[in-house]
Amino acid sequence: MNLDPCVICFKHCCSTSIYCKQVPAICPVCNATILEYLLEPFRLPNPFVNAREYPVTVVLRPSRGDFLNDYTITDDLHIGVVDSKGNIFEYDEPGVIRNDFSSWLNCLAFNIVPESWSDHWDTTIQKISNDKKWSRQNYNQDSLNCFNFVLEFLTQLNYSGALFASKEEFCESFVIPKFQDALKFLTLYRRLKYVDHFCGNYYLYLPA
């Protein structure tokens, strides 16, 4: 699993953006030796993070596999909560799961509250994770699942900017904007991976 994917962008001879894992000596657009740039090479920020390194966040990952290597747009997503110490709480078929760190190495993290709320955040996630409502016997894929767990947590947190009536409202407010940017990165990363493997190239270029 590549936990630190590298996607570099630059422009050499025109407005065409060139994406690569390593900057070439020869421009793939004009075939000239690269001596200077219209846009200096820069590395695109990787949107996928290790959840335990992002305290006081809500985190999202595919239900199976990871974003970089396995995810397709039709796959189900799984959601959890990270406390101020990097402990991860999630709800699934076995009930409340704590600190399954290896499953959260490649996820999206969403900041919901200001830093001053971290103590209340911790108290609330401890309270809900110990509630018998979230036992394995009560789990239902459609009506009592990981999203219900996180929405209940946010309701009990009672932060004015994070009160949502439904999963759809939460996704529209927090998930979709960041998720769309992440998909753009993922598309570039996979296209580079494809041309690298099948075409013997290590770049791709797209019109501005």
Q: Looking at the predicted structure, is the pLDDT value of residue 1 above 60?
A: no
| pTM of the complete model beyond 0.85 | yes
Q: How many CB atoms lie within 10 A of CB 33?
A: 9
**Per-residue pLDDT at 42:** 95
In contact, 88 and 104? CB cutoff 8 Å: yes
Question: What residues form DSSP beta bridges with 203?
Answer: 20
7 three-state secondary structure: coil
Q: Looking at the predicted structure, is the pLDDT value of residue 47 above 80?
A: yes
User: Considering only CA atoms, which of 180, 176, 189, 181 is closest in space to residue 69?
Assistant: 189
Share of the chain above pLDDT 90, in %: 64
**Per-residue pLDDT at 28:** 86
**Per-residue pLDDT at 200:** 43
Q: Looking at the predicted structure, is the pLDDT value of residue 2 above 60?
A: no
**Structural domain boundaries in the chain:** 8-44+187-206, 51-163
Q: What is the pLDDT of residues 125-173, one digit of tens each?
A: 999 999 999 999 999 999 999 999 999 999 999 998 888 888 899 888 8
Q: What is the pLDDT of residues 166-194, one digit of tens each?
A: 889 988 888 898 899 899 999 889 888 77
User: Considering only CA atoms, which of 143, 165, 166, 151 is closest in space to residue 112?
Assistant: 151
**Per-residue pLDDT at 125:** 98
**Per-residue pLDDT at 203:** 59
In contact, 124 and 156? CB cutoff 8 Å: yes
**Per-residue pLDDT at 91:** 98
Q: What is the pLDDT of residues 53-96, one digit of tens each?
A: 999 999 999 999 899 888 988 999 999 999 999 999 999 999 99
Calculate the alpha carbon distances from 52 to 62, 90, 135, 147 in Å.
17, 13, 24, 19
In contact, 26 and 13? CB cutoff 8 Å: no
**Per-residue pLDDT at 21:** 85
Q: Looking at the predicted structure, is the pLDDT value of residue 102 above 60?
A: yes
150 three-state secondary structure: helix
Confidence band of 197 (pLDDT split at 50, 70, 90): very low
**Per-residue pLDDT at 199:** 44
